[in-house]
Chain A
Amino acid sequence: DTAVSQTPKYLVTQMGNDKSIKCEQNLGHDTMYWYKQDSKKFLKIMFSYNNKELIINETVPNRFSPKSPDKAHLNLHINSLELGDSAVYFCASSQPALARTDTQYFGPGTRLTVL
């Protein structure tokens, strides 16, 4: 059983296009996240949602818009893609409120390449 899944795994697109990455978790967690891993492997939080509400937005450009239709899904839509958006995007989930645990479980990542 896949705990946190992302689609697609690879995404190659042209500058200026709009694209979406989907994330789903079947762990019953309340909180979901998007992280960006750049070409130097550095990982940084982008967004966090708790029960469909945005709780963290780490100075990400407005071109990035997360959408959480329910607490099991957190999608990432990117408008007007730029070369600098090329990275690996990881979705994660955790259940900090209920179990007092901050362990985040990550999806397999989506490698986005903007040409």
Chain B
Amino acid sequence: AQKVTQAQTEISVVEKEDVTLDCVYETRDTTYYLFWYKQPPSGELVFLIRRNSFDEQNEISGRYSWNFQKSTSSFNFTITASQVVDSAVYFCALSEANKLVFGAGTILRVKS
């Protein structure tokens, strides 16, 4: 069975600090997709990124960057110069036969 582990339950940082959210996954599939979603206090689930298993290039989007390492089965998410608006629950997920298997989520609190 596929599994996604987000070992950090909660992280607190001060504004402008960099923060990395860890995600480790397990799968027997050779082709798979990994995702990050953000759930702000308002409750909706916002798609951030999708990465397929053949593309190990790191990706940067503004203050967000993602480090995908197949050798360690990790897909970590870094927020540079964090802001209060980044406070949310962040979920890592793995696709399996058209369903998403989610990690337990990491609560990120950014204090001003």
Partner-A contacts on B (CB < 8 A): 33, 35, 37, 39, 43-45, 47, 50, 89, 91, 95, 97-102, 104-105
Contacts and interface: CB of A to CB of B under 8 A. Distances in A.
B33 to A, nearest CB: 5
Given A43-B91, A102-B50, A108 B98 contact: no
Given A96-B98, A102-B33, A102-B98, A109 B91 contact: no
Q: Is the interface of B mostly helix, strand, loop or mixed?
A: strand
Contacts of B102: 42-44
Given A40-B104, A43-B102, 13 more contacts: A33-B99, A41-B89, A42-B104, A45-B99, A45-B101, A56-B98, A58-B99, A88-B43, A92-B45, A102-B100, A104-B100, A105-B47, A106-B37
A44 B50 CA distance: 19
Contact of B99 (A42, A48, A90, A103): A48
